[in-house]
Amino acid sequence: MGLLNRMGTVVKAKMNKLVDKMEDPRETLDYSYQKQLELLQNVKRGVAEVTTSKKRLELQKAKLNLNIDKLSGQARDAVKAGREDLARIALERKNGLMSQVQSLDQQIENLNKEQEKLQATERRLSAKVESFRTKKETIKAQYSAAEAQVKITESITGISEEMADVGLAVQRAEEKTEDMKARSAALDELLEAGTLEDFTGGDDDIEKELAKISATSNIESELESLKEEVGK
Amino acid sequence: MIVRIMGEGQFQVSSSLLDELNVIDNRIVDYVAKENESDFKKYLGKLIAMIKENGKPLDDAEIVESDIIVPPADLTLGEATGIFKGEGLIED
């Protein structure tokens, strides 16, 4: 038996669980419709979750980029001051941050795809729910009990398959955002613990060293001009 | 025939494609048995691409049961093994 047959069995098992609740066929229509609306809400929540996670990663990326710019500036200042050792430290840190940014880019790209997929799922389900609602009213109003039974079975199986599919899509999106959230929280922790040092806040060691150099040269030049004045 | 690609909707596909799909499906079964993740992924991707290339997306508002259900493209080898063992993929 192939993967496709097996997959069909998996989905059908899920559908049967949804269809099994059928007792009074007409009630089933309303019950299924309620479930569809709930599922649609779930998809919307899923889209919002993915969007939030993506924004969070983008924020982290912006923060890292600020640090990278700052480190570039510091490296240049250090070279100007003839302190290659300091410049090297700054560039090493910059390199570390750049690889973090690269991995964030990949994660943002993945979330982007997930977001698009989920939005498409939402569109499809939304159209199907609306079409089911119309069908449901028609069946209730126009068909005899026997005909209605056939129509109901048809539309319930069709929509139940869609619901099983959407249910899985939401479940997978949730798993992905959970995973992303954990990684993003880990990155926050690293930033906080100083392992990836947040150079944007307060003075850091390179900054202090550079400030010392510029203070010394200011003092020297002021001293020179004082000497000149006094020497006159 | 109607083919559903999980997570991507339904497609109207000519029944003549069935043989080709079965050939790929059999290879996938083989790769899952051999735990060959990269070829498994490659051929699942091929299967999905073939359906999209030869199929026409069904109107969103249409509610109809599918003849074939294809697992999502990001299915892992572990999940595929689970499906063959009769474990479900979808939470209750």
* A113-158 residue pLDDT tens: 999 999 999 999 999 999 999 999 988 888 787 788 888 888 888 8
Chain B residues with CB under 8 Å of A171 CB are 90-91
Q: Using the 8-state DSSP alphabet, how is residue B16 labeled?
A: G
The mean pLDDT value of chain A amounts to: 85
User: Between B8, B68, B90, which is nearest A4 by CB?
Assistant: B68
Cβ of B66 and A171 within 8 Å?
Answer: no
Interface contact flag, B84 A155, Cβ < 8 Å:
no
Selected residues 8-37 of chain A with any CB under 8 Å from a CB in chain B: 8, 10-11, 13-14, 17
Identify the band that residue A194 occupies on the pLDDT scale cut at 50, 70 and 90: low
Q: Taking residues A181-202, what's their average pLDDT? A: 65
B66, pLDDT greater than 60: yes
Contact B64, B10 (CB under 8 A): yes
pLDDT at A225 over 90: no
Q: Does pLDDT of B87 surpass 80? A: no
**Higher per-residue pLDDT: B1 or A176:** B1
pLDDT-based confidence at residue B7 (cuts at 50, 70, 90) = very high
Smallest Cα–Cα separation from B86: which of A3, A169, A24, A226? A3
Q: Give chain A positions within 8 Å (CB) of B9.
A: 120, 124
Asked whether the beta carbons of residue A13 and residue B61 sit closer than 8 angstroms, the reply is no
CA dist list (Å): A221 to A4, A34, A82, A216: 81, 80, 17, 9
Give me the residues of A, 100-129, that contact B with CB < 8 A.
117, 120-121, 123-124, 126-128
**Higher confidence at residue A193 or residue A73?**
A73
A167 in contact with chain B, both atoms CB, cutoff 8 A? yes
Q: Please, are residues B51 and B21 in contact by the beta-carbon 8 Å criterion?
A: yes
Mutate to test the interface with B, among A1, A4, A110, A166 (most CBs of B within 10 A): A4
Residue A202 has a pLDDT of 52
Residue A184 is predicted with a pLDDT of: 79
Nearest CA among B70, B88, B69 for reference residue B79: B88
Q: Give CA–CA dist B69/B66, Å, rounded.
A: 7
pTM score of the predicted model: 0.78
The chain A residue lying nearest B28, using CA atoms, is: A3
Question: Residues near B72 by Cβ (< 8 Å), separated by ≥ 6?
Answer: A168, A169, A172, B5, B6, B7, B8
**Which of the two residues, A46 and A19, has the higher pLDDT score?**
A46
Partner residue opposite A2 with nearest CB, options B8, B26, B61: B26
Least confident of A22-26, A225-229, B51-55: A22-26
Instruction: Verify whether the Cβ–Cβ distance A168 to B8 is below 8 Å.
Output: no
**pLDDT given at position A1:** 61
Higher-confidence residue of A27 and A21: namely: A27
Highest mean pLDDT among A17-21, A217-221, B73-77: B73-77
DSSP string, B21-79: HHHHHHHHHHHHHTT-HHHHHHHHHHHHHHHHHH-EEPPTT-----SEEEPPTT--HHH
In sequence order, what are the residues at sequence separation of 6 or more whose Cβ sits closer than 8 angstroms to the Cβ of residue B41? B77
The pLDDT of residue A214 is 81
- Picking from A1, A5, A7, A153 by the largest number of B CB atoms within 10 A of its own CB, the best residue to mutate is A7
For the beta carbon of residue A94, count every other beta carbon within 10 angstroms.
18
Using alpha carbons, select from A57, A51, A63, A173 the residue that is nearest to residue A104.
A57
- Averaged confidence pLDDT in chain B: 90
In one-letter notation, the amino acid at residue A6 is R
Residues of B in contact with A126 (CB under 8 A): 60
Residues B32, A130: C-beta atoms closer than 8 Å: no
Instruction: List C-alpha distances in Å: B33 to B9, B45, B69, B73, B80.
Output: 28, 18, 20, 18, 10
Digit-coded pLDDT (tens) for A195-222? 555 544 555 778 888 888 888 888 888 8
pLDDT band at A193 (very low <50, low <70, confident <90, very high): low
| pLDDT for the residue B12 | 96
Yes or no, beta carbons of B84 and A127 under 8 Å apart: no
Dump pLDDT digits (tens) for A88-117.
999 998 998 999 999 999 999 999 999 999
State the count of interchain CB pairs (< 8 A) between A and B: 97
| Chain B interface disruption, residue of A5, A6, A16, most B CBs within 10 A | A6
- pLDDT greater at residue A14 or residue B20: B20
pLDDT surpasses 80 at A65: yes
Question: Quick check: B4 pLDDT over 90?
Answer: yes
Query: Residue A227 — pLDDT band, cuts 50, 70, 90?
Result: confident
